[in-house]
Every structure is written in structure tokens, then in C-alpha cells.
Amino acid sequence: MNTDILVEPIATLRRSTSLISENLSYIQKELPELHAPENLRDEIIAACRDFEAAIWDVNSEIRNLEEKLGMCPGEPETANPDPRVPIGLIGRWMRAEIERMHQLVIKLRELASEDANMGGLEVLVTESAANILYAHKDIRDSLDLITAHLR
């Protein structure tokens, strides 16, 4: 299989997960400066940390995907050589975290509409979530391109 065409989609996967991580870190860094009840602050931190853990797993699967695509010469054969396996895992894990972030944004929008003091928090999470969503779209597009190349 000619893997040269897959170099850019793999690079995009890595850039996108890095962008997501940067946004999750930014939320956590800025959070202490904003007005928020402790339970909500804890919920946001938990969502960010869980997403970070998922990104760590996704990055491991990107490496696994590279191996299955034959992009890592000299690497030992894996038990299941089908690249669709890591593609499926990456897609499922990302969708789950994106959905959780979406629910958090909805909740923050509702809270900000009721309490003006929550506006800064809502903006912080919503803008970062938008950046994360754009990165997720790039991940989906890259996975689709890789999958199309497999056919």
C-alpha cells in the first residue's frame, strides 16, 4: 500500500488532538479567575480531565493506526492488522467527549441566561468548545480520507 497519501491525514490527526489538548488546558488555566459555583467548577474540570484522558488514548490509537497502515517500518505485526479497528475507536471516543462538552455548553448557556455573573465562564467554555469542535471535524475528515483510501 502506498502510504505517502496518508502522511498528511495522520499529521492532521496529531495537530487536531494537540489543539484540543491546548483548549482543554486553557479552560482549566482560566477557570479559577471566573465566577462559578464549586460544583460547576468541579464538573468542568472533570470534563476537561476526562477529555484529556481520551485524547491520550486517541493519540495511542493514532500510533496504532500508523502501524496497521504500514507507516512504521520495522514495527512488529499487531494481533489485528485491520486499520478500521483504531479508526473506529478514535471516532467513538471523540464523539463521546464531544457530546459531553456539548451538554456542558448547553448547561452553561442556560446558567448564563439566568445569572449575568456566569457570562465569563460561559464564554470561556463555549469558545474553547468551538475550537475543539473544529479540530474534531478535522479528525473526522482525516479518518474519512484514510478509510476511503482503504477501499
At residue 72, the pLDDT reads 80
State the amino acid at position 120 in one-letter form. G
Pick the CATH number of 4-150 from 1.10.10, 3.30.2420, 1.20.1440, 2.20.200: 1.20.1440
At residue 76, the pLDDT reads 55
At residue 70, the pLDDT reads 87
SS (H, E, C) the chain: CCCHHHHHHHHHHHHHHHHHHHHHHHHHHHHHHCCCCHHHHHHHHHHHHHHHHHHHHHHHHHHHHHHHCCCCCCCCCCCCCCCHHHHHHHHHHHHHHHHHHHHHHHHHHHHHHHCHHHHHHHHHHHHHHHHHHHHHHHHHHHHHHHHHHHC
At residue 3, the pLDDT reads 80
At residue 75, the pLDDT reads 59
The predicted model scores a pTM of 0.92
pLDDT of the chain along its 151 residues, tens only?
Answer: 678 899 999 999 999 999 999 999 999 999 999 989 999 999 999 999 999 999 999 999 999 999 999 888 665 555 568 999 999 999 999 999 999 999 999 999 999 999 999 999 999 999 999 999 999 999 999 999 999 998 7
Q: Where are the domains of the chain?
A: 4-150
